[in-house]
């Protein structure tokens, strides 16, 4: 398991990832992870997208490298759309090293027009929305 830093995960989920490696671990250890666990900075109702801002303790590789991405979402992280997110998170975005919008597994049909899922990032994304 690869995870954001425990203190950045909602719902005290950090207690469940104590044996995980983190974004600061050697790349070899990160590459061996089968599951990536993150929180999110916003969840956009309009598109079903998650917004993940990279920074200390919230490495981008956690959501992109393992074949399964599990995102923990708090109700207060819900926004209607990108405009609302940009307006309410401008300062956080300016400080982030990267902003990633996740709208499910990547899809491509570039190779012989055959649909392939999960080529760029995880093949499965699971979103858990808690109640507080």
Cα torsion 48, 53, 57, 59: sign: positive
The CB-based long-range contact list for 22-25 (8 Å cut-off, 24+ gap) reads 22/57, 22/59, 22/62, 23/57, 23/58, 23/59, 23/60, 23/61, 23/62, 24/59
Write the Ramachandran bin of 57: left for phi over 0, alpha for psi from -120 to 50, otherwise beta: left
By percentage, how much of the chain surpasses pLDDT 90? 79
Q: Alpha-carbon distance 49 to 27, whole Å?
A: 27
Over residues 15-34, the mean pLDDT reads 92
pLDDT tens profile 43-102: 999 999 999 999 999 999 999 999 999 999 999 999 999 999 999 999 999 999 999 999
pLDDT at 116 exceeding the cut of 90: no
Q: What is the pTM of this model?
A: 0.89
Q: How many Cα neighbours within 13 Å face the side chain of 21?
A: 17
Domains of the chain: 2-129 (3.40.50.10420)
């Amino acid at each position: 398991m690869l995870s954001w830093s425990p203190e950045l995960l909602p719902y005290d989920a950090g207690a469940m990832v104590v044996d995980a490696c983190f974004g600061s671990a050697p790349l070899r250890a990160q590459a061996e992870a089968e599951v990536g666990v993150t929180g999110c900075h916003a969840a956009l109702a309009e598109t079903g997208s998650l917004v993940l801002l990279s920074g200390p303790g919230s490495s981008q590789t956690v959501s992109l490298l393992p074949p399964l991405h599990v995102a923990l979402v708090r109700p207060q992280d819900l926004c209607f759309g990108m405009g609302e997110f940009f307006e309410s998170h401008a300062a956080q975005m300016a400080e982030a090293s990267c902003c990633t919008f996740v709208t499910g597994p990547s899809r491509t049909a570039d190779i012989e027009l055959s649909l392939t899922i999960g080529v760029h990032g995880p093949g499965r994304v699971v979103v858990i929305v808690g109640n507080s």
